[in-house]
Structure 1
């Protein structure tokens, strides 16, 4: 099993230990620091990876599925970037289906989680064929979404209706994905007015207590891009001392909520 520092949890481990100490909880690590056990005299909470025991199991699973998330957002009237399910080997030609679902250019990605891994764009049929052939070798199904001209993208971390953290993802030069692991910078001191209503509405629609919500601004309108029930701030923490302190505040609040 990979050690925690190999899978990007170095800051997370320290932040959880600090948060536990501040609330009087003993922190025991298992599975090479992938699983945390927080214990007080009368409470016990388990945290695996970046997933806290604050959301019910169904809501947490829905949030990991981009297509299921979109179904609930649509039903609740929350503006969102559409994601459609494409299953390999059970329907028409995948390139033709991509054209039918969203047209080209398109974004092709795993429909569950991914953290930006294997998120590909296809401008024309040749790129779509190459991307779909690659993804078919790795996944049984993917999500297909339109490639939109995103003006800004924000991440908001929400706990029980309160926005604990909001930052803008400034993409790296020559990159099109707004992922910190691909060089985007987390910009603080942003105006949360635009993305907050959509993020809070998404949390309500999915029945989540604690999650991060990515909101894209397209043509001046905020749209929910995806929701993550596992709150990862490791790359955010690497951006500087202030970022680490803000991430620690988020995890401190989550730990308190788990043991309340």
Structure 2
């Protein structure tokens, strides 16, 4: 298999990243792997999508060595035609609309692009979860740019209200309000400033005191997951703000929640997603660059990179032009 992987930046590669787990597993299977950054996409004079890529073909499947080759820019560079690959894997967050447009061109030309760019347009905004039917368990949720609407929502949320940017990650701009309107106004402003202006307003779930699960969903199956426990003095569970990973049990309520979500992911053309749950309710769906392979592998004994690589080989056989499913 010839695999092209688009990443946000080669300089930020880490051996703990899900992308590196996948690349190492693909190399171990004998795949030809090329890594490309967003600014290295171009359309040539004949209208073909070209990739100025790091060529990792033949590299040892050692994540530390791969990271060094990418960060130090030691890996050989070559311009390759996108259409010469079997799969283009999108692993960038945030992702520029121009990159999505290039990826759409590649998909329409017959290249298997995962997650499909059309799916990213429809589902990467956190408002998508709020549009699903009530059969998908989730907290009460409002998506708004109106502080007054958020205030009314908060008045009906006795356990408190969580506010977060509709486009952001890593816990940036996320606030918890239990008190009066003045506190909500400040949290709303921070959430609005942290993304595209739209704010996700959710009821606080008391089960969050026990942690938040990150489960990995791959083409219809739950691969595994782990628990994120909050750092002392912080209500957020994100690892970037001090949250701690722990092993978890995937309970019946978790499975039922993902079973309810799965038809909607598949309908939209999502191949791989990270799903965050609290008390059996889905609080967030991540499709742009879902992570979690490292701690799922370390704590759960699941070789996530290998599962993802196997999934790519399976998908490359039937993912045709314009087909995100």
Report the TM-score, using the length of structure 1 for normalisation: 0.76
- Once the two structures are superposed, the pairs formed by residues 111-260 of structure 1 within 5 Å of their partners are 111-124=166-179, 125-138=181-194, 139-150=196-207, 151-188=210-247, 190-206=249-265, 207=267, 208-217=270-279, 222-233=280-291, 237=294, 241=298, 246-260=303-317
Give the aligned partner of residue 28 of structure 1: 34
Cα displacement (A) at 1:240 = 8.2
Query: Which deviations, in whole Å up to 9, do the C-alpha atoms of 1:134-166 show, x marking residues without a partner?
Result: 344454221111122124422211122211112
Unaligned runs of 5+ in 1: 89-93
Q: How has the CA–CA distance of structure 1 residues 98 and 158 changed in structure 2, closer, same or farther, with 3 Å as cutoff?
A: same
Equivalent residue of 1:195, what SS? helix
> Residues of 2 paired with 1:63 and 1:118: CA distance?
20
Per the TM alignment, residue 27 of structure 1 is displaced from its structure 2 partner at its CA by 0.8
Q: CA deviation at 1:70?
A: 1.6
Deviation by residue 1:69-94 (Cα, 9 ceiling, x = unmatched): 221243xx111123212125xxxxx1
Cα 1:241–1:164 change in 2 (3 A) is closer
In structure 2, the residue matched to 1:91 is none
Deviation (angstroms), 1:62: 3.4
**2:229·2:243 contact (CA, 8 Å) conserved in 1?**
yes
Provide the C-alpha distance between the structure 2 equivalents of 1:180 and 1:123, rounded to a whole number of angstroms.
Answer: 23
8 Å Cα contact 2:91-2:289 kept in structure 1: no
Aligned residue pair count: 246
**Quick one: structure 1 residues 82 and 189, their matched pair in 2 at CA, closer, same or farther if it must change by over 3 Å?**
closer
Gaps of 5+ in 2: 1-6, 41-52, 58-82, 94-111, 318-325
Change (3 A) 1:27 1:3: same
Q: Secondary structure at the match of 2:253?
A: coil
Name which of 150, 154, 157 aligns with 1:98.
150
Higher alpha-carbon deviation: 131-140 or 206-215: 131-140
C-alpha distance in 2, partners of 1:187/1:10? Answer: 15
Task: Decide whether aligned partners of structure 1 residues 134 and 231 sit closer, same or farther in structure 2, where only a CA change above 3 A counts.
Answer: closer
How far did 1:101 drift?
Answer: 2.5
Task: Indicate whether 1:46 and 2:102 are aligned.
Answer: no
Q: CA deviation at 1:5?
A: 4.5
* Contact kept? 2:297, 2:303, Cα under 8 Å: no
Q: CA RMSD in A?
A: 3.6
8 Å CA contact retained: 2:214, 2:226: yes
Shifted more, 241-250 versus 13-22: the winner is 241-250
User: Which protein shows a greater Rg?
Assistant: 2
Give the whole-Å Cα distance in 1 for the aligned partners of 2:36 and 2:173: 29
1:32, 1:50 → 2: CA distance?
Answer: 8
Confirm or deny that 1:68 pairs with 2:128.
Answer: yes
Measured in 2, the distance between the counterparts of 1:133 and 1:71 equals 23
Of the structure 1 ranges 28-37 and 197-206, higher mean CA displacement relative to structure 2 is found in 28-37
